[in-house]
Structure 1
Amino acid sequence: MSFPKMKRSERRPLSLTRSFFNFVKLDFSFDSKRRSSSKTETKPKMRLPSEFMSKPMSKSPPPRSRKSSEISRPYPIHHSSRKAQISRRISALPPELLAHIFVLGSEDDSMFPVTVSHVCSSWRWLTLSTPSLWRRVCLDDRTDMWKERIRRAKACSLDIQLSSRIYRDVESGRLVRHQVLDFYNVHWYMHVANPWIHRWRTLEIVFHDYAPWLWNAALAECCSKYPYLSAPALEELVLFHPHNDDTKEFLLFGGRAPRLRRVALNGIRLLWLPSLFGNITVLDYTHHGFTVGSTAVIEILSMLGVSNRLSELRITFPSRMRPVPVSSTNLYPVSLPYLSRLILRVQTADIPVELLLVSTHLTVPSLRSLHLLDDTRALSSFPGLHAFLRTFRKPERLASLRVEGGWYDFRLMRKWVGRLSGLARFVVKDGLGRERVLVGGVRPRTASGPAYRREG
C-alpha cells in the first residue's frame, strides 16, 4: 500500500525536546564510562543545535554503575528522593490497631497467631504481648503446643474447642475429616484444658461419629464432685453429638455458671438448674430422644420455665424418635416474655406431636420473628399443619414470617396470615428451593387477609 507523501511546505522541522535530550545525554555518558578502560578509543563529542545551547537545562544526577545482571532492566531517568519511594507500611500502624487486626484474624484461623509471630521481630514482640491472641485452643495431638499457647494467654479467658470436624477441601472439593476421636484421645486432649476451667470463656465439643463413652471422657472433670468447681467466666456452651447413646444426665460445673448466655445442645441430657441456665438468652436445642411423648414435652417445658429470659429459641426433634400417643393433660403453659425470635425445625415426614404440644403451650407476647423450617424439603404440606395453625397462639406483634416445605399450604396459611395485622415480611420457600418474598400492608384490605405483592 502506498502512502501519500507530504509536501515540502507541510513537513515539520526536526526539533529535540528537553526530555529526549536528557535521555540521550544520560545514555551517552553511561556508554562512555563503560568504554573508558580502553585507551585506544576516544570519547565522542556530541554537537547540539544552537537553540538548545542558549536555554538553561536542569542538571541530571550522575549515572550509577550497574551490574551485568541489571543491564536488561530499564534505567530510571529521574531519580526521586528516598522519602517518595517509601510507601506507607503496615508497621506504621499503631500497635493497638495492629494487635486488634491480629485478634480478628485468629478467630478464623487458629494457627494465625503462629504465622504472624514468625514474620519479623517487631510482630513477634507484639504477638507475645497480646494475651487475647492466644486464647483459642483447638485440642488435638499437638498437646505441647496448646500448653504453650495457654501459657502465652496469661490471665486471659480461653476458648476451648474439641471437634472431629469435617470440612470441604478447596482444591479437590471432597469432604475431609479433621480427626477421628475415641474415648482415649478425647480424655487425653481434655486433660490439657481441664485445669483451667475457671478461665473458660467458650466450650465447644462436636462429635460427628459414633464412639462409646465420648461424653464421659470429655466431661469427666466438668462433672466432678469437687465442691469449688465452677465456670465463672463461661459465656457460650456448644455440645453436639447426634449419635450419642448414653442416657446419663450430666451436671456441669457444680451447677454454677453465672455468665452463661448462649447454649447449643444436640444429643446430650443435662440437669437443668437455674444457677446454670437461668440467665441464658439464646438456646438452640435438639432433643436427645431418650424421652418421648408427654415425658419429653414436660421435660422441655420445665427447661423453658427455668430459662424464661430467652430472646431467641430454636427447637428440633430428631428423626430417630419413635411415635407414641401423647396426652395433653398435666401440661401447663410457659411464658417467655422476652422471646423475640422462634424457630421450629422438622426433620420428619410430619410435624412431631411433641413439637406441636411444646409450641402450643408457649406464651410469647414479644415475638417478632417466626421461622418454620423443613429439612425434608417436602413438596406437599404436612398432615398436621391444620392442627398446628388452629392451636398455635397467633403473636400479635409478629413482623416476620418464614415458611419452608411442608409448613406451607396456600389456603390454610392465607387465612392464618390474614389475621396478623402487623406482618411486614412473609417469605415462602418450596421443596425445590425456590423462594418468594411477600410484603404485606399494615392493615388488611379484605377480611381474608392483606393484599400481597411480590418483592423485586
Structure 2
Amino acid sequence: MLISLASDRTRIVEIRSQISELESLLAALRDEQATAQQRLDSYIYPILTLPNEITAEIFLHFLPNYPRLPDIDHSSRIHDAVFPTRLTHVCRKWREVAITTPSLWKGLAIFEPPLLSKFEGRLALIETWLGRSGCCPLSIDIIAITGRHHDIVKKTFSLIIPHLARLERLKLILDDFRSVPHISLPMATLRTLELGTLRENDERPAAFASCDMPRLREVVLNCPSSLNVDLPWAQLTSLSLGCIEPDLSFPILQKTLNLVSCVLNFGSDEYEQYTITDYHIKLPCLTSLIVRRDDREMVTGILTAFVVPHLRRLEIPEPFLGSDPIASLKGFVSESSCNCALKELVITNRKVWPTGCCPVTEEDYRAACPSVVDFSSEFISHDDGVSDTSDNSEDDWEDDGSE
C-alpha cells in the first residue's frame, strides 16, 4: 500500500511537469496566433485601397453592355453575367459602394416569375432597385408572354409609374396590352420604345394614348396590333417594323418624315404575295433602308413606293425586286435621285442555281448603281431556301454576313 502511494506521488509530479511544459507551448502558440491575426487584421487588400469612385467605375464596366440589361432575378443563362446585387454580396465595402452608385441600378429586365409564390419578393426587389437608381435615366424591359400573369404586370407598372419622368428606354413584350395601365403622365426623357405582342388583336394599347413623349426618336414595333398605338411619328429618326404586312406598315411610314434609319421585316401567318402600287413615301432624311422577309413572304414593287434622295445604304431581298431586278433598281435610283448618295448595297435571298450561275451578276448591280462602293450578297439554295455561304457563283461572291 505504501509503495503504491509513493508511486502516485511521483506520477503527480511528472504530470505537473508535463502540464507546465504544455501550458508554456500553448501560450507560445497563442502568442503566435495573436501576432498572425494582428498581421491579417492590419492587411488591406489592394483592391480595397482604391477610391470609391474608381471601384464604382470598375463595377459599371463589369455589367452587361447596354442595351442588354441585368435580369432582376439572376435567371440569365449566361454563366459569367454580373448583376449589381451580386456585387453587394462580396464584402462590406463593395456593398456600400454598389448601393450608393445609382448608375449601377439604372437598367433592369423584368421577366414573369415561373412561380406566383415568388411574386411578392419580386415586387420588393423592383422597388429597392428603382430606389437605388436615384435620379439616373432608366432603361426597363418587361417580358411577360404567357398571358397568365396580368396582375403581375399591373402591379409592376404601379411601381414604375412614379419614375416615368426619367424613363429613357422601355421595352414591353407582352401577351397583349390589356394588363398595362393607362399612362397619362409625360415621359419627357423617353428616347427608345419597343412594343411586341403575341396575340393578334385590334385592341389599341391604351397605355400611351395620351402620353407626351417629346424626345422619342427610336421605335421598334413587332406584331400588327402594336401598330395601333398612337405615337409622335413625325419626330422619329429610327423605326423598325417586324412581322407586319405592307398594308399596315406603309401608312405609318408616310407619317415618319424625319426618319434616318428604317428596318422593315415583312411577315404574316399565311403566305401572301403583295405588289406595291398605291403608296408614295417620301423620306428626305433617310440614309439606311433595310428590308427583310420571313421564309414565305413575297413583296414586289416595294422600291416604287419610296423616294429617298439621301439614301446611303440599301438592303433588300432579291425576290422583292421582281422579275427584272436591275430594271427595278435603276428605276428606284432614278426616281429617288440617290444615284450619287447610295454607297452600300446588300442583296439577300439570292438564288444559287444548279449550274452554279446567278441570273444577275455583281457587275449588273454595280452598273445599275455606279456610286456603290461596298457591294455584298447573301445566297440561299435553289431547292429548299437553306442559307448557302459557299462560293458557288462564277463571280466568286461569298456571304460576308453583312446586314
- Specify if TM > 0.5: yes
What is the CA RMSD across the aligned residues, in angstroms?
3.7
Q: 1:116 aligns with which of 87, 94, 103?
A: 87
Partners of 1:105 and 1:201 lie apart in 2 by 21
Q: 2:133 aligns with which of 148, 153, 157?
A: 153
Q: CA deviation at 1:419?
A: 2.4
Q: What is the CA deviation profile of residues 212-263 of structure 1, one whole-angstrom value per residue up to 9, with x for unaligned ones?
A: xx2111x3323xxx4xx2211111111122x322212335162421111221
Between structure 1 and structure 2, the one with the greater Rg is 1
Partners of 1:247 and 1:154 lie apart in 2 by 38
1:351 aligns with 2:298: yes
Q: 1:320 aligns with which of 247, 260, 269?
A: 269
Q: CA deviation at 1:423?
A: 1.8
Could you say which residue in structure 2 is the equivalent of 1:236? 192
Could you say which residue in structure 2 is the equivalent of 1:162? 142
Q: Is the 8 A contact 1:429 1:436 kept in 2?
A: no
Q: 1:386 aligns with which of 320, 323, 332?
A: 323
Could you say which residue in structure 1 is the equivalent of 2:359? 411
Q: Which amino acid aligns with 1:433?
A: D
1:220 aligns with 2:181: yes
Partners of 2:371 and 2:350 lie apart in 1 by 24
Could you say which residue in structure 1 is the equivalent of 2:312? 368
Q: CA deviation at 1:66?
A: 9.5
Q: Is the 8 A contact 1:286 1:318 kept in 2?
A: yes
Could you say which residue in structure 2 is the equivalent of 1:107? 64
Could you say which residue in structure 1 is the equivalent of 2:237? 281
Q: 1:281 to 1:94 in 2, by over 3 A?
A: farther
Q: What is the CA deviation profile of residues 255-287 of structure 1, one whole-angstrom value per residue up to 9, with x for unaligned ones?
A: 42111122111013345767x233222211125
Q: 2:213 aligns with which of 257, 263, 281?
A: 257
Q: Is the 8 A contact 1:341 1:367 kept in 2?
A: yes
Partners of 1:323 and 1:340 lie apart in 2 by 29
Q: CA deviation at 1:128?
A: 1.9
Could you say which residue in structure 2 is the equivalent of 1:130? 101
Q: 1:215 to 1:351 in 2, by over 3 A?
A: same
Q: Is the 8 A contact 2:273 2:298 kept in 1?
A: no
Partners of 2:268 and 2:325 lie apart in 1 by 19
Q: Secondary structure at the match of 2:323?
A: helix
Q: Which runs of 5+ in 1 are unaligned?
A: 1-36, 38-64, 68-81, 166-178, 290-295, 374-380, 439-450
1:185 aligns with 2:132: no
Q: 2:252 aligns with which of 303, 312, 318?
A: 303
Q: What is the CA deviation profile of residues 308-332 of structure 1, one whole-angstrom value per residue up to 9, with x for unaligned ones?
A: 2222110022131563776734x33
How high is the sequence identity, in percent, across the aligned residues?
A: 19
Q: Is the 8 A contact 1:287 1:317 kept in 2?
A: yes
Partners of 2:392 and 2:63 lie apart in 1 by 37
Q: CA deviation at 1:119?
A: 1.7
1:247 aligns with 2:202: yes
1:200 aligns with 2:167: yes
Q: CA deviation at 1:114?
A: 0.9
Q: Is the 8 A contact 1:351 1:385 kept in 2?
A: no
Q: Which amino acid aligns with 2:182?
A: E
Q: Is the 8 A contact 1:386 1:412 kept in 2?
A: no
Q: Is the 8 A contact 2:346 2:375 kept in 1?
A: yes
Q: What is the CA deviation profile of residues 376-409 of structure 1, one whole-angstrom value per residue up to 9, with x for unaligned ones?
A: xxxxx73863255533412422222222224788
Partners of 2:373 and 2:269 lie apart in 1 by 37
Q: Is the 8 A contact 2:390 2:399 kept in 1?
A: no
Q: CA deviation at 1:196?
A: 2.5
Q: Which amino acid aligns with 2:358?
A: F
Q: 1:181 to 1:193 in 2, by over 3 A?
A: farther
* Matched residue count: 321
Q: CA deviation at 1:341?
A: 1.5
Partners of 1:337 and 1:304 lie apart in 2 by 12
Q: Is the 8 A contact 1:426 1:437 kept in 2?
A: no
Q: Which amino acid aligns with 1:159?
A: S
Partners of 1:455 and 1:324 lie apart in 2 by 27
Partners of 1:130 and 1:391 lie apart in 2 by 55
Q: 1 or 2, which has the higher helix percentage?
A: 2
Q: Which amino acid aligns with 2:370?
A: S
Kindly report structure 1 stretches of 4+ aligned residues shifted beyond 6 Å.
451-456
Partners of 1:363 and 1:452 lie apart in 2 by 33
Partners of 1:389 and 1:303 lie apart in 2 by 28
Q: Is the 8 A contact 1:402 1:428 kept in 2?
A: yes
Q: Which amino acid aligns with 1:310?
A: L
Q: CA deviation at 1:154?
A: 2.2
Q: CA deviation at 1:180?
A: 7.4
Q: 1:411 to 1:328 in 2, by over 3 A?
A: same
Q: Secondary structure at the match of 1:257?
A: coil
Q: 1:385 to 1:349 in 2, by over 3 A?
A: farther
